[in-house]
Structure 1
Amino acid sequence: MDIGLTAVVVDAAELEPESAFWHRFLGGQVTRTATHHFLRADGFPVLVIQRAAGHVRPRWPEDGTQQVHLDLTTDDLTAADDLALRAGAVRLRPTGAVEPGAGQGGRVYASPAGHPFCLRAG
């Protein structure tokens, strides 16, 4: 038996800010409906942004709940950090500026809806 991952679904109170962020960050194509935005980007399962009127933004790391967490790898952590921030992410860890050329370790961010994700050198 084979099992595959075809989509990752994340909740957001507002579809456009969340899907626009992921589109700016990962590229690809967005298909919009009234309740869902579907991002199809090369190398990724479909990322589905689902309208959830009662969505409560995760407050990780303060309260310990993440709701969803993506780990992404990159061959250029400095460039990916810059792209994530320009796309609208907020860096959670480390919280300060990152030295140019610092390609080791990982960094943790939040999307506009507050969903944490990591960028790791890979």
Structure 2
Amino acid sequence: MSLKLGAVIIDAAALEEESTFWHQFLGGSVAATETHHFLSAEGFPTLVIQHAAGQAPPEWPDGASQQVHLDITAADLAAAESRAVEAGARQLSGHVYASPAGHPFCLRQA
């Protein structure tokens, strides 16, 4: 049996804001429906930003469990951190950031 990761699904109450953040940060192209935005970016599986009206941001590092987070590697860590913040991320601690919907992700040196 051969398995392959098809997509990563990210819930967001504010679909446009979350989709715009990931698109500005990762680049690539977006195909949109009323409830889902599909982001294709080089080096990543498809990211599907899914409208979820009741989505509430997780709390980092305490509070509700995180379920999942992305680790993103970059050749130029400082440039990636700047780009994330310019796109709308907020720094939580060290190299841990949150998207506008509050989903945590880590930036790591490649």
Give the TM-score range, shorter chain.
Answer: over 0.9
| Partner-residue secondary structure (3-state), 2:56 | coil
| Further displaced range: 58-67 or 72-81 | 58-67
Extract structure 1 runs of 4+ deviating beyond 2 A. Answer: none
CA distance in 2 between counterparts of 1:72 and 1:40 reads: 15
> How many residue pairs were aligned?
110
Deviation, 1:51, is: 0.6
Corresponding residue for residue 29 of structure 1: 29
Identity %: 62
- Please give the TM-score of this superposition, normalised by the length of structure 1: 0.86
Corresponding residue for residue 108 of structure 1: 96
Larger radius of gyration: 1
Structure 1 unaligned regions, length at least 5:
95-106
Q: State how 1:35-54 maps to structure 2 within 5 Å.
A: 35-54=35-54
RMSD: 1.0
- Please give the TM-score of this superposition, normalised by the length of structure 2: 0.95
- For the 8 Å contact 1:69–1:117, the answer to whether it is kept is yes
